[in-house]
Amino acid sequence: MPLSTDQQAEIDQARDGAQKTLRPVAPALEEILYRALPVLDHGFVRVVDYMGDDAAVVQAARVSYGRGTKKVSEDRGLINYLMRHRHTTPFEMCEIKYHVKLPIFVARQWIRHRTANVNEYSARYSILDNEFYLPQPEQLAAQSKANRQGRDAVLTGKEAERVFSLLRKDAELAYEHYMEMLNEGADGAPLDPERSGLARELARMNLSLAFYTQWYWKTNLHNLMHFLSLRADAHAQYEIRVYADVMIDTLKRWCPICADAFLEYRMGGAHLSRTGLAAVKRMIAGEKVDQKSSGLNPREWRELLASLGLDG
Query: pLDDT means per 10 residues in the chain (312 residues)?
Result: 78 82 92 96 96 94 65 88 95 97 97 95 91 93 78 88 95 95 83 87 94 97 97 94 98 98 94 96 96 95 93 74
Strand partners, 38: 44
**E strand segments, 35-192:** 37-39, 43-51, 95-103, 117-120, 141-143, 151-154
Q: Is 157 exposed, middle or buried (0-12, 13-18, 19+ CB in 10 A)?
A: exposed
Residue 202 sits in the same domain as residue 82: no
Last residue of a domain, one of 157, 184, 209: 209
Other residues' Cβ atoms within 10 Å of the Cβ of residue 190: 13
**3: burial class by Cβ within 10 Å (0-12, 13-18, 19+)?**
middle
Distance CA 145, CA 55 (A): 48
Kindly state whether residues 161 and 23 are assigned to the same domain: no
Q: Clarify whether residues 85 and 165 are in a common domain.
A: no
Give CA–CA dist 281/284, Å, rounded: 5
Considering the domain architecture, whether residues 5 and 116 belong to the same structural domain is answered as yes
Q: What pLDDT does residue 9 have? A: 86
In degrees rounded to 5, what are phi and psi of residue 218? -115, 135
Same domain, 12 and 160: no
- Count of all residues that appear for the chain in the document: 312
Residue that finishes a domain, picked among 183, 209, 235? 209
Q: Which residues pair with 51 in a beta bridge?
A: 95
CATH code, domain with 55: 3.30.1360.170
Q: Which domain holds residue 165?
A: 135-209
The last residue of one of the domains, among 209, 240, 256, is 209
| Local structure of residue 89 (DSSP, 8 states) | G
Choice among 46, 204, 231, 253 that is catalytic: 231
- Are 113 and 215 in contact, with CB atoms under 8 Å apart? no
pTM here is 0.90
Residues 12 and 90 in one domain: yes
Instruction: Give the Cα-Cα-Cα angle 35, 37, 40 (nearest 5 degrees).
Output: 150
Q: Are residues 26 and 124 in the same domain?
A: yes
Is the same domain home to 126 and 215? yes
Residues 77, 202, single domain; the answer is no
The answer on 38 and 156 residing in a single domain is no
The CA distance from 14 to 263, in Å, is 32
Active site residue 231: yes
CA dist 13 → 3, 34, 90, 186 (Å): 14, 10, 34, 25
Do the Cβ atoms of 80 and 265 come closer than 8 Å?
yes
Does residue 185 share a domain with residue 143?
yes
* Tally of domains in the chain: 3
Outline where 63-156 has alpha helix (H).
Answer: 72-84, 104-110
* Residue 190 phi, psi dihedral angles, 5° rounding: -65, 140
Residues 49 and 181 occupy one common structural domain: no
